[in-house]
Amino acid sequence: MLGWLKRRAELASLRAATEDLDRFVARLQGATSEELGMVVAIATILRTNFRSEGILPDAVLGVGASATPDEEISTIIQLPRWIQLFQKEGQPSDAAGTMVWLHSVRVIALYPELRNKGREMWQELHRGFGHAPQALEDIQALTGKTIPSEAFDMVEFVPPPLRSLNT
């Protein structure tokens, strides 16, 4: 009986993650290349910040050594909190940028059966890569804050497990 309940909970969780990712990919598909460039730029800035704060270690994105279960769980718990905070503070662009990393980590660590959908997400984001450097400069001019050079270097980063032949 306990095994059955556990399996039902896992399936419900997978179904919710699938629906969430499907909605996000649909939004990306409806965006222009310029809009996607801004999403990529914001996601890149957030990745540099989250990395430096230990919230988004490279390992959970499939870079370098394998992530520990604690790193995966910590990241999967923290990123939705940041999304909620950004939404609460009226920063939908930052929430969307964080969603890029939440969905990536979920399909890498929790739901490998959704990796093709994760690759589809990155194929959509790839349409914005050419516009992302200009978006970084625009953000810098708008905010008056210096964008770390690391962000310009990482603007075309795709987590290795989610790379496809087209990205």
Task: List pLDDT tens digits, range 53-88.
Answer: 999 999 999 998 899 999 999 999 999 999 999 999
Q: State in Å, rounded, how far the first CA of the chain is from the last one.
A: 45
Please state the length of the chain.
167
Instruction: Provide φ and ψ at 23, rounded to 5°.
Output: -65, -40
| Residue 71: partners with Cβ closer than 8 Å, 6 or more residues away | 57, 59, 60
- Domain holding 119, by residue range, is 2-162
Q: What percent of the chain has pLDDT over 90?
A: 86
What is the average per-residue pLDDT within 127-143? Answer: 97
Domain count for the chain, please give it: 1
What is the average per-residue pLDDT within 132-136? Answer: 98
Q: Is residue 147 part of a domain?
A: yes
**pLDDT at 167 (0 to 100):** 47
SS3 assignment, position 23? helix
- 42-62 in b/e form (b: 16+ CB < 10 A) is bbbbbbbebeeeebbbebbbb
With beta carbons less than 8 A apart as the criterion, state whether 14 and 113 touch. yes
Q: Is residue 167 part of a domain?
A: no
What is the average per-residue pLDDT within 30-52? Answer: 97
What is the average per-residue pLDDT within 112-139? Answer: 97
**pLDDT at 125 (0 to 100):** 98
